[in-house]
């Protein structure tokens, strides 16, 4: 039995993010495999300890790059739990709108990423064309396309601009009418079905063993284990939406669930725009107090449901002006590191890049 | 929503019946944290796993420099009775050793490896906790300890760009407090030495 | 005064013939630059809109390329951690000449928002030569395209000579790399 050492290196057209999968292969079948993280390590947890509570807001969105709003939401939610601060009503609804738009854009990016390993670059063109429209909406709301720094402790930085509802409705209508096309291109396409049907299966016991959350769990276990339903934060209990689930968990099923979730997010945003009340959007600290703001001592874990799973910040404060320790629980930590080591052997080399895409392994949040 | 308070009470009874708890903290309806002794951690985690808390969400450590201790934290979740349980235990900082919880939760393998790399805590029972995961060729103390200064490391190893100094600083050592005290003293002296 | 336009080819010296061929080559090079696909950091999120139909890069003649042996531009998108820098230097040395480096974001300029981090380098100029910097955190996609057009101008004016600098000052670059990184050899430690 001969074995060859390969690595699906960091510089690869089918790879998502800067991580490499090292493997021993025999012919085409992987025998042993390992993910090499650490190429995007910046020392965030150390950097966050050295800055004030307000200064961290500009550092936080860079932890998870494709979907930066979940970082701000988890940080603000955790600090508000320690401060026992009540955020104004309108701010909750605006936060929900931003989070759902971020979820749609992350799902579109993952869908487009399916195009790289399978050779169908058309998927990427369609997905990024729509995603660019979302980034334009973000630019109108917060001033920046990718890193918004919009959700802060105490609410949202400023109110939505006048006339943005019309743009949002236009975009949502156009995206909804194209979801059928996405399904035909990506899920029912014979050349992609050959790659994704009955491959990369994830049985239910594996889910509990690894600690996988998000779409990987919902497609295998068959229950609606979504944090927005089970422990609702920010008025998710006042909007109606479904959580798509399944029990047959192969890669095609997961891509199908992604498209259904985009549809559900569109429903949520429409309900938010209809039900949003008027009012203030921010609880500001006193004049000149931002730099001296202290948070009472405590330990809190604040989780948020991101497009890849449960994303949480573990925040420890000792009553000072700087956070004492912030630990980031990346949503793709279990499925990226442990999943590739235990459950990739036995599949073929071309499935390695598909695992990274359909299971939602995002390398910046593994390395921080 | 009505039985979230029952869930927290259920958890309280379960934990207090199993081990001796040093400190309890109910954060809100969906989160409770307990501080226990280091030797009780395995017992409590096994009990909780048997009662339904089968998902390990996070495992990490906190560095308390003044008390000379590390604090390990384990966070568990149950989707049937949704309550986050934080289990915290303090260990010694000079010689940090903690038995690995790999037999209970197989997903803890990489969390423990990362805790070793960033804090220096040893986890006997975990087969390769000494291999470097995120850093490569690291030559200093574990970075997340409080006595490590990243700015000094960065200045020492990575050269910074020199910008030409074509501005002048008035007097960097002037203190505002001293000037304010001067002004107040002068004001009170003008008022006849009395504070109004 | 000798004009290269009307002098018959047999009377030109070898250096002048080389220069003419190089000019023709530069014309083709700058209108068909191929970009190596390597997403090194967070600014790489602004690259798919440039590559796809949102802000089409192909109208400038640029396209993606899978292997460094056949690519023209090494795009350093964002910050560089130590691990990435070792592999980036490997990749840079594998590219064939002439090769150009475009640095996106403010992190390669002076460290950016991670200037006090123990794992991010501060100034990319010390390790490999850089031709064009695009400032921003993160730069807009239109700014990135502007950077590419600037590179094309520089090639036209013959000022994009980073690869020649790497030849001339090779020892200085290597010394800097060894000082900051320790060693530039990539160890495959998981299989050894």
The CB density around residue B169, as the number of other CB atoms within 10 Å, is 7
Model pLDDT for residues B5-16, shown as the tens digit of each residue: 677 888 888 888
Model pLDDT for residues C131-143, shown as the tens digit of each residue: 999 988 888 899 9
Query: Which of B137, B140, B154 shows the shortest C-beta gap to C117?
Result: B154
Model pLDDT for residues A160-182, shown as the tens digit of each residue: 898 899 999 999 999 999 988 88
Q: Would you call A18 and C140 a contact, using CB atoms and an 8 Å cutoff? A: no
Q: Would you call C118 and A112 a contact, using CB atoms and an 8 Å cutoff? A: no
B142 in reach of chain C (CB within 8 A)? no
B180 in a structural domain = no
Per-residue model confidence (pLDDT) at position A314 = 92
> Cα-Cα-Cα-Cα dihedral of B15, B16, B19, B21, to 10°?
100
Model pLDDT for residues C26-62, shown as the tens digit of each residue: 888 888 889 887 888 888 888 888 888 888 888 988 8
Average pLDDT for residues B125-133, to the nearest whole number?
Answer: 81
Model pLDDT for residues B24-40, shown as the tens digit of each residue: 888 787 888 888 888 88
pLDDT at B2 over 50: no
Q: Which domains does chain C have, with CATH numbers?
A: 34-180 (3.40.50.12280)
Q: Would you call B150 and A310 a contact, using CB atoms and an 8 Å cutoff? A: no
DSSP bridge pairs for B71: B62, B90
Model pLDDT for residues A310-332, shown as the tens digit of each residue: 899 999 998 888 899 999 988 88
Query: Which among B134, B150, B154 is the top mutation candidate for probing chain C, defined by the most C β-carbons within 10 Å of its own β-carbon?
Result: B154
> What residues of chain B lie within 8 A of the CB of C83, using their CB?
136
pLDDT at A290 over 90: no
> A-contacting residues of B 135-174, CB under 8 Å?
135-136, 143-144, 148, 150-151
The minimum CA-CA distance between C48 and chain A, rounded to whole Å, is 7
HSE, side-chain direction, 13 A CA sphere, residue A336: 27
B58 in reach of chain A (CB within 8 A)? yes
Per-residue model confidence (pLDDT) at position A74 = 92
> What residues of chain A lie within 8 A of the CB of B62, using their CB?
316, 324-325
pLDDT at A195 over 80: yes
Range list of β-strands (E), chain B: 21-28, 31-36, 55-64, 69-77, 84-92
Model pLDDT for residues A98-128, shown as the tens digit of each residue: 999 999 999 998 888 888 888 888 888 899 9
Domain range holding A276?
42-367
Q: Would you call A13 and C66 a contact, using CB atoms and an 8 Å cutoff? A: yes
CATH number of residue B104's parent domain? 3.30.460.80
Model pLDDT for residues B161-170, shown as the tens digit of each residue: 777 877 777 7
The minimum CA-CA distance between A38 and chain B, rounded to whole Å, is 4
Per-residue model confidence (pLDDT) at position C187 = 67
B165 in a structural domain = no
Query: Which of C37, C48, C84 shows the shortest C-beta gap to A13?
Result: C37
**Average pLDDT over all residues of chain B:** 83
Q: Give the pair of three-digit tokens for residue B110.
A: 């990489």
The minimum CA-CA distance between C121 and chain A, rounded to whole Å, is 10
What own/partner pairs with CB < 8 Å and gap ≥ 24 does C44-47 have?
C44/C77, C44/C78, C45/A65, C45/A66, C45/A146, C45/C138, C46/A145, C46/A146, C46/C77, C46/C104, C46/C138, C46/C139, C46/C140, C46/C141, C46/C144, C47/C75, C47/C77, C47/C144
Q: Would you call A210 and B57 a contact, using CB atoms and an 8 Å cutoff? A: no
Tell me, what's the ipTM?
0.87
B194 in a structural domain = no
Is residue C135 within 8 Å of residue C169, measured between CB atoms? no
pLDDT at B119 over 60: yes
Is residue C52 within 8 Å of residue C141, measured between CB atoms? no
pLDDT at B194 over 70: no
Q: Would you call C116 and B161 a contact, using CB atoms and an 8 Å cutoff? A: no
B75 in reach of chain A (CB within 8 A)? yes
Per-residue model confidence (pLDDT) at position A262 = 92
Sign of the dihedral defined by the CA atoms of residues C20, C24, C27, C29, in that order: negative
User: Among all residues of chain A, which has the CA nearest to that of C68?
Assistant: A11
Per-residue model confidence (pLDDT) at position A171 = 92
Query: Which of B131, B143, B160 shows the shortest C-beta gap to C123?
Result: B160
DSSP bridge pairs for A36: A20
Per-residue model confidence (pLDDT) at position C6 = 66
B169 in a structural domain = no
> What residues of chain C lie within 8 A of the CB of A4, using their CB?
none
Is residue B27 within 8 Å of residue B39, measured between CB atoms? no
Q: Would you call B161 and C110 a contact, using CB atoms and an 8 Å cutoff? A: yes
Which chains would you list as touching C if contact means 3+ CB atom pairs under 8 Å?
A: A, B
Residue A75: pLDDT band (50, 70, 90) is very high
User: Among all residues of chain A, which has the CA nearest to that of B136?
Assistant: A38
Residue A249: pLDDT band (50, 70, 90) is confident
Instruction: State how many domains chain A has.
Output: 1
B68 in a structural domain = yes
> What residues of chain B lie within 8 A of the CB of A43, using their CB?
143, 150
Helix, strand, or coil here: B185?
helix
pTM above 0.80, yes or no: yes
Q: Would you call A128 and C138 a contact, using CB atoms and an 8 Å cutoff? A: no
A37 in a structural domain = no
DSSP string, B100-141: --TTT-GGGHHHHHHHHHHH--B-TTSTTTTS-SS-SS--SS
CATH number of residue A46's parent domain? 1.10.645.10
Q: Between B and C, how many CB-CB pairs are < 8 A?
A: 51
Residue C189: pLDDT band (50, 70, 90) is low
User: Among all residues of chain A, which has the CA nearest to that of C47?
Assistant: A128
Q: Would you call C176 and B159 a contact, using CB atoms and an 8 Å cutoff? A: yes
Query: Which of C46, C84, C114 shows the shortest C-beta gap to A18?
Result: C84
> What residues of chain A lie within 8 A of the CB of B33, using their CB?
299
Describe the strand order of the beta sheet including A29-36 as a list of residue ranges.
Answer: A4-8, A20-26, A29-36
Query: Which of B106, B134, B150 shows the shortest C-beta gap to A209?
Result: B106
Query: Which of C82, C116, C117 shows the shortest C-beta gap to B136?
Result: C82
B158 in reach of chain C (CB within 8 A)? yes
List all residues 6 or more positions away from A13 whose beta carbon is below 8 Å from its beta carbon: A116, C37, C64, C66
Per-residue model confidence (pLDDT) at position B195 = 54
Q: Between A and B, how many CB-CB pairs are < 8 A?
A: 84
Query: Which of B31, B62, B133 shows the shortest C-beta gap to A325?
Result: B62
Q: Between A and C, how many CB-CB pairs are < 8 A?
A: 94
Could you tell me which residue, B149 or B136, shows the higher pLDDT? B149
Per-residue model confidence (pLDDT) at position B1 = 45
Q: Would you call C123 and B161 a contact, using CB atoms and an 8 Å cutoff? A: yes
Could you tell me which residue, C107 or B173, shows the higher pLDDT? C107
Per-residue model confidence (pLDDT) at position A98 = 92
> What residues of chain B lie within 8 A of the CB of C125, using their CB?
161
The minimum CA-CA distance between A65 and chain C, rounded to whole Å, is 6
Q: Would you call C179 and B157 a contact, using CB atoms and an 8 Å cutoff? A: yes
Q: Would you call A299 and B86 a contact, using CB atoms and an 8 Å cutoff? A: yes
Query: Which of B86, B107, B144 shows the shortest C-beta gap to A45?
Result: B144
Is residue A296 within 8 Å of residue A82, measured between CB atoms? yes
User: Among all residues of chain B, which has the CA nearest to that of C110?
Assistant: B161
Model pLDDT for residues C161-180, shown as the tens digit of each residue: 888 888 888 888 888 888 88
Instruction: State how many domains chain B has.
Output: 1
A24 in a structural domain = no
B13 in a structural domain = yes
Query: Which of A38, A45, A230 shows the shortest C-beta gap to B133?
Result: A38
> What residues of chain A lie within 8 A of the CB of B77, using their CB?
310
**If interface means Cβ-Cβ distance under 8 Å, which residues of chain A face chain C?**
5, 7, 9-13, 17-18, 22, 24, 34, 36, 38-43, 46-47, 50, 58-59, 62, 65-66, 109, 112, 124-125, 128-129, 131-132, 135, 145-147, 364
Model pLDDT for residues B45-81, shown as the tens digit of each residue: 888 888 888 888 889 899 888 888 889 999 998 888 8
Q: Give the pair of three-digit tokens for residue A244.
A: 């798509």
């Amino acid at each position: 039995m001969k074995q060859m050492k390969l690595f699906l290196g960091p510089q690869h057209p089918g790879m998502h993010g800067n991580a490499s999968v090292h493997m021993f292969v025999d012919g085409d079948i992987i025998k042993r495999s390992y993910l090499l993280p650490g190429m995007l390590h910046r020392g965030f947890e150390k950097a966050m300890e050295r800055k004030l509570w307000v200064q961290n807001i500009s550092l936080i969105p860079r932890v998870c790059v494709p979907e930066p709003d979940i970082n701000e939401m988890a940080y603000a939610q955790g600090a508000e739990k320690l401060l026992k601060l009540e955020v104004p009503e309108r701010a909750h609804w605006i936060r929900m709108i931003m989070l759902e738009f971020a979820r749609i854009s992350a799902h579109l990016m993952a869908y487009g990423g399916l195009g790289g390993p399978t050779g169908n670059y058309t998927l990427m063109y369609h997905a990024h064309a729509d995603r660019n429209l979302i980034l334009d909406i973000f630019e109108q709301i917060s001033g920046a396309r990718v890193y918004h720094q919009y959700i802060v402790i105490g609410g949202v930085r400023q109110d939505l601009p006048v006339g943005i509802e019309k743009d949002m409705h236009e975009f949502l209508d156009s995206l909804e009418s194209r979801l059928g096309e996405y399904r035909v291109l990506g899920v029912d396409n014979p050349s992609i079905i050959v790659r994704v049907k009955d491959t990369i299966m994830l049985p239910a016991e594996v889910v509990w063993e690894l600690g996988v959350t998000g779409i990987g769990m919902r497609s295998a276990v068959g229950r609606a284990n979504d944090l927005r339903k089970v422990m609702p934060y920010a008025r998710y209990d006042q909007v109606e939406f479904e959580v798509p689930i399944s029990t047959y968990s192969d890669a095609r099923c997961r891509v199908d669930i992604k498209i259904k979730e985009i549809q559900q997010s569109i429903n949520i945003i429409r309900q938010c725009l209809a039900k949003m009340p008027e009012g203030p959007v921010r609880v500001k600290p006193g004049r000149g107090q931002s730099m001296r703001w202290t948070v009472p001592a405590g330990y809190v874990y604040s989780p948020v449901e991101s497009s890849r799973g449960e994303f949480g910040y573990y925040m420890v404060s000792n009553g000072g002006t700087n956070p004492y320790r912030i630990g980031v629980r990346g949503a793709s930590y279990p499925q990226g590191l442990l999943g590739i080591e235990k459950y990739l052997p036995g599949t073929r080399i071309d499935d390695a890049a598909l695992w990274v895409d359909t299971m939602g392994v995002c390398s910046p949040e593994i390395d921080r | 929503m009505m039985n979230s308070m029952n869930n927290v009470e259920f958890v309280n009874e379960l934990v207090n019946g199993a081990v001796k708890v040093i400190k309890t903290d109910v954060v809100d309806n969906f989160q409770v944290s307990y501080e226990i002794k280091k030797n009780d951690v395995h017992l409590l985690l096994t009990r909780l796993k048997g009662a339904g808390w089968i998902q390990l969400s996070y495992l990490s450590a906190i560095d308390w420099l003044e008390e000379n201790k590390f604090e390990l934290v384990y966070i568990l979740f149950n989707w049937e009775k949704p309550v986050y349980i934080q289990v915290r235990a303090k260990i010694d900082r000079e010689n940090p050793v903690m038995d690995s919880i790999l037999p209970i939760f197989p997903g803890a393998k990489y969390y423990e490896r990362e805790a070793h790399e960033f804090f220096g805590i040893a986890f006997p029972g975990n087969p390769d906790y000494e291999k470097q995961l995120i850093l490569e060729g690291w030559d200093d103390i574990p970075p997340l300890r409080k006595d490590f200064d990243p700015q000094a490391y960065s200045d020492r190893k990575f050269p910074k760009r020199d910008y030409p100094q074509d501005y002048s600083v008035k007097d960097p050592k002037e203190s505002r407090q001293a000037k304010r005290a001067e002004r107040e003293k002068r004001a009170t002296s003008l008022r006849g030495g009395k504070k109004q | 005064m000798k004009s290269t336009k009307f002098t018959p080819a047999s009377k030109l010296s070898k250096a002048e013939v080389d220069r003419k061929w190089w000019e023709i080559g530069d014309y083709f090079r700058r209108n068909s630059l191929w970009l190596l696909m390597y997403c090194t950091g967070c600014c790489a999120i602004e690259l798919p809109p440039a590559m796809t139909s949102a802000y089409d890069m192909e109208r400038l003649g640029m396209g993606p390329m899978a292997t460094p042996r056949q690519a023209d531009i090494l795009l350093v998108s964002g910050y560089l951690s130590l691990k990435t820098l070792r592999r980036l230097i490997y990749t840079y040395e594998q590219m064939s000449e002439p090769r150009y480096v475009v640095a996106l974001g403010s992190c390669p300029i002076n460290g950016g928002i991670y200037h006090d981090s123990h794992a991010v380098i501060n100034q990319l100029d010390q390790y490999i030569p850089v031709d064009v910097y695009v400032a921003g955190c993160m730069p807009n996609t239109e700014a990135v395209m502007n950077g590419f057009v600037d590179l094309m101008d520089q090639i036209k004016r013959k000022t994009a000579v980073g690869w020649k600098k790497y030849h001339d000052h090779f020892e200085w670059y290597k010394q800097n790399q060894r000082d900051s990184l320790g060693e530039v050899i990539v160890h495959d430690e998981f299989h050894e």
